[in-house]
Every structure is written in C-alpha cells, then in structure tokens.
Amino acid sequence: MSKQIRNIAIIAHVDHGKTTMVDQLLRQSGTFAAHEKVQDTVMDNNAIERERGITILAKNCAVTWNGTHINILDTPGHADFGGEVERALSMVDGVVLLIDAQEGPMPQTRFVTKKALALGLKPIVVVNKVDKPGARPDYVVNAAFDLFDKLGATDEQLDFPVVYASGINGWSSLTQGEPGEQWGPDMAPLFETILKHVPSVQGDPAAPVQMQVSALDYSTFVGRIGVGRINQGTLRAGQDVLVMAGPDGEKYKARVNQIHQFQGLDRVQVSEAGPDEIVLINGIEHIGIGETVTDIEDPRPLPMLKIDEPTLTMNFCVNTSPLAGREGKYVTSRQIWDRLQKELRSNVALRVKETSEDGVFEVSGRGELHLTILLEEMRREGYELAVSKPRVVFREIDGERCEPIELVTADVEENHQGGVMQALGERKGELVNMESDGRGRVRLEYRIPARGLIGFTNEFLNLTRGTGLISNIFDGYEPYKGEIGGRKNGVLISMDAGEIFTYALGKLDDRGRMFVKAGDPVYEGMIVGIHSRDNDLVVNATRTKQLTNFRVSGKEDAIKVTPPIDLTLEYGVEFIEDDELVEITPKSIRLRKRHLSEHERKRAAREERPD
C-alpha cells in the first residue's frame, strides 16, 4: 500500500500536442512491447475524435517510471468540453500545461489553467514543438508567467518549472539549447520533473474509506463502472459501502464488486486499493458522477463536483419531414428522450428538459461543438431527428437581462485583418487587444456576445481564405447588447416533392449556390440552396425538359452546374435561421423550413408580425 504514486493531468489549448505527448510517455515508459504495433494518438480511441483530430473525452492511462506509478489523464482542449476537464482535475495533484512554442497561450489555455490554479494545483509548463520553424520559447515562458499572474496564481504557482519538448519526436530538455543542437534524447527530463514537482499526497490507509466518482464507463458484462480517486482509507473487492450524493443529498448502501487499476492503457483487477490510487469499481448499479463512495459506519461525503452552467440551448425534435423514417432506426420521441437521458449520466455539462410542444426537447450545453458532437454520435447510432437554431441562455441578474460574453482570439494574416475586424464589429464585438508578431500575422482579442459567434466560423474561414485561427471561451454575463444582424442571404425553397434533375439545376444555377445534386430526393419546404439575394425564393427543383418531336432527350447543349456546397452538420446548425430546422438522419443532412407549405409560412409570419 505504500507504493509511490503521482496523479497528473495534461492540459492545453486544442492542437498544442497533448495526445501526441501522452503517446510518447506511454512508449518510453515501456508500456508497449517491442513487437507491438501502436497507432498514433492512441488515446483518441473514439471514431469522431480520430476523424476530427480532437480530444472529446478525458481519458486515463498509467505508466511506471523508476518504480513510481504515474496516473496520467489526457483532457480535451476545447472549452465546450470543460465538464470533462473539471472532472479530470478533481482526481490529480499536479498538471502538465502544454503550450505551443509558436502560438503561445491561447483562450483555452487560459480556461484550463484557470481551473487548475483555482484548485491549488502547481503547473509544470512544457513548451512543446520547440523544433518547429517560428518557435519562440522565451516569449511563451514570459506569456505563461503573465497569464498565471492575471489569473491570481500564488507565489508558489508562479515559480513553475519549465521543460522544452518535441512531443512528435519524443524528446525533452530542461534547457533551450540552440537550433541544430541535440536538445534531449528522450522524455526522461519530463518524467524526472514530474517526480520532483508533483506532490505524492499520501492519505491514511487506515482511515474510513472515501472515494469520489469523477467519470463513468460502461461494460455489457458488469454494467456501470465508476472511475475515481481514493482520497483516504482502503477499498476492497466485495466491501459494503455507503454511496452519498454530497453531504445533504441522497444516500444508499451498496456493495463494490470488482476493483481495477490502470496499467498503461489496460485495466488490471486488484483485490484492494489504497489512498491516491485512481481506480475503476463496478457492482453499484446507479452510481453517478460526483457521488462519494464511503464507509457505512463513519461516512465522509465530499461536496458534489461543481460544473459551469450551459450557455447555449437547442431544440431536439422528432423528424416530421416527408422523408422521415427511411434511414433511421430510432425515430420516436420516446427513443430520443431515452437516449438523451442516457447521455446525461456521463455528460455532466449537459441539461435536458421537456417543452410544452409534443416531441420537442430543450437541450442545453457549453457550445455549438458540445451539442453537434452529441448529434453526430446519435446519428451514427441510427437516430433520426430535427434540430433548431442554437440560442444563448439569458439570465436575470439584479433585475437586468444579461447574456453570455465570449473572449475571442483570432490569429490572422495582416491583409485579412480589416475584414475580420469589420465582421466582429458588426456582431457587437469590442476589441480588447491587438498585437503583431512581426512576421505578417496579427492576434486580435475581442469580447463579444455569444449570439454574435453563432454562424461566424464559416464567415471567418472565408474572410481569411482558410489561413486564420479562431478560438473562444466563456467570459461571464453582461447586460444585453442589442440586436445583431442575422444571415445576409435568403434561401431557395423547393415548391414540390420529387427528384432533383440536372436540367432544373442548370436553370437555377444563376439564382445562387445549391445544397443538393442531381438524383437527390426533395420535398415541399426543403431548402435546396442559398439565394444570391437577401429574400427567400420558392423554386421548382424537380423541373424536367419537355420532350417533343423536335426536342429530344439527347445532349443539345451541355448543362453547366456549379458543384453543390458540402452540407455538414456544423454548417447546417450555424446556417439556419429561427424559422428553419436541420433534418439529421444516419445518411443525410438536410435543411428545411419549420412550416413546409408556403401558405403555412405566410400565416406564421402574419401571426409573429406585431399589430
């Protein structure tokens, strides 16, 4: 029970190299056998994570270095998955903060660091990617110090150790060195820094057991699995315990069936575990996140984990389009509701409630990415549904209507700066800081209502020709900032049902860009494209060539059609307006008007119009 243990979390802004760094720590600690073939970013084992190159779920692994058992938690970089970060940090005694040697601290760096400092954790700063062109390690270390200072770090937290590393090449060093020199052969300097600076907080193995559940897993063999850290006492397989939802919450007796620990990426069954061990327990059917597993005779419950409130909400509805039920396996409101309830068990930052409308559920989350990842998972599982435009969650503070404000950082080329600043200004953004890196790029910092960022990603990519980097984080609530203009273009709406023909597309080509291609099914009220003007236009998308003795089906003249816009889930959710929906099925993403027939849309518009 007295073995040496260190519990650390690796935190960083998205794309600064966390998962690649964990790969190297696993490899160099001897976790994988010499003959074992291991894929890159082995921790990102979710299909969506691999496709997008991002981490969504916090994950555990463990390595052994010089006789010390090091539990490592790989955390997401996006603020949308902050619930995952907060849970991970509740299990550790230290954090390794990765910062890109070229980009320096970014908004999500600020977000995850603020959480870590507030918990009293002392960070180890790793300047990653120091071997890439344009690296500026000195700037990064100074910027990290300034960031810590702004976030109210203690003197001890400000005296942080620095390690220079290249995660992708698998080496680290305690000194910068000069380009061209061999900085370090392996990850040993980082391992030694972790052992030296992360405390081994040894609890009392003889005290009443106390373990808080910070994550959940599921197995078809043993049911729900609770993951957490034992703060004190010794937990044994077969032990009777008391499960408590905080000091004043519900409590019930249960029995722990099996206990597992992490070893590399594997789980190893043990008969007992002591203080500071991160373990997986099963046998408790209804165990939930934040609950404390404690001693029956002398219970020691911990406060429930505090998670930031959601800032964005969407309506998830039953799919009512004429094409409903053709592609999905789960289409009813009860099936959608049950799936959302299942998601709530592990997705702690999510909120779900029923609305007055039948088959419509209000789902709130931390951001567009948080909600669209859930939708993507549901469609891959065979669910079919429709969703509304995202709306921000307003709050009443001191009798005033307040809205969420985001801190936005945009890295753009100097020749794109004007267009980006104009677009952010139109969306009620206020410039906070602007600095040039002296290499043709500018970093802009804005504070902007969260409403203004809905649908901005695509516009930003167009403005910067795909070269810009933008990220944002929640920065508090402020009084309502006034109306923000919506989409500048109207849409093309199909007037009837049928199949799209190339002939019809040729006739509509000068009207705007299409979302559909020849052969696609359409229905009345479905949005088939973006109008080149600012009004909606009802069009005949199923029109065919009239054939006579003189007009045959042969190719008299080639019909030129502009390729359609690639309609992704994210694009659709950002594009739609309040009177529109995104129809999501396992095989298709379609856009539609909420009211399908034209006379219903006119009636709804009259009802909404003030007298």
Asked whether 60 and 267 are in contact (CB, 8 A), the reply is no
130 is annotated as contributing to ligand binding: yes
Query: Going by C-beta distance under 8 Å and a sequence separation of 6 or more, which residues neighbour residue 43?
Result: 19, 22, 23, 55, 59, 61, 74, 265
Query: Going by C-beta distance under 8 Å and a sequence separation of 6 or more, which residues neighbour residue 83?
Result: 307, 308, 347, 348, 349, 350, 366
365 is annotated as contributing to ligand binding: no
Asked whether 361 and 354 are in contact (CB, 8 A), the reply is yes
The residue assigned the tokens 């043709």 is 440
Residue 318 DSSP symbol: E
Q: What is the dihedral of CA 298, 304, 305, 307, to 10 degrees?
A: 180
| Beta bridge partner(s), residue 212 | 229, 292
Residue 496 DSSP symbol: S
8 residue type, one letter: I
- Of 373, 314, 279, the closest CA to residue 84 belongs to 373
First CA to last CA distance, the chain: 76
Asked whether 101 and 128 are in contact (CB, 8 A), the reply is yes
18 is annotated as contributing to ligand binding: yes
CA distances in angstroms from 479 to 310, 359, 398, listed in the order given: 18, 33, 10
Residue 546 DSSP symbol: P
128 is annotated as contributing to ligand binding: yes
3-state secondary structure of 493: strand
Residue 560 DSSP symbol: P
Burial class (CB in 10 A: 0-12, 13-18, 19+), 299: middle
Burial class (CB in 10 A: 0-12, 13-18, 19+), 12: buried
270 is annotated as contributing to ligand binding: no
State the alpha helices, DSSP H only, in 278-416. 333-346, 368-380
Q: What is the dihedral of CA 396, 397, 399, 401, to 10 degrees?
A: -50
Question: Residue 395 and residue 376: Cα distance in Å, rounded?
Answer: 29
Radius of gyration of the chain (CA): 27
3-state secondary structure of 143: helix
611 residue type, one letter: D
- Number of alpha carbons in the 13 Å side-chain half-sphere of residue 521: 10
The three-state (H, E, C) secondary structure of 257-313, written as one string = CCEEEEEECEEEEECEECCCCEEEEECCCCCCCCCEEECCCCCCCCCCCCCCCCCEE
Question: Residue 6 and residue 196: Cα distance in Å, rounded?
Answer: 10
301 residue type, one letter: P
H-helix or E-strand spanning residue 236: strand 235-236
H-helix or E-strand spanning residue 461: helix 456-463
353 is annotated as contributing to ligand binding: no
What's the chain's length in residues? 611
19 is annotated as contributing to ligand binding: yes
- Number of alpha carbons in the 13 Å side-chain half-sphere of residue 457: 13
| Beta bridge partner(s), residue 527 | 493, 591
Residue ranges at the known binding site: 15-20, 128-131
Residue ranges at the known binding site for GTP: 15-20, 128-131
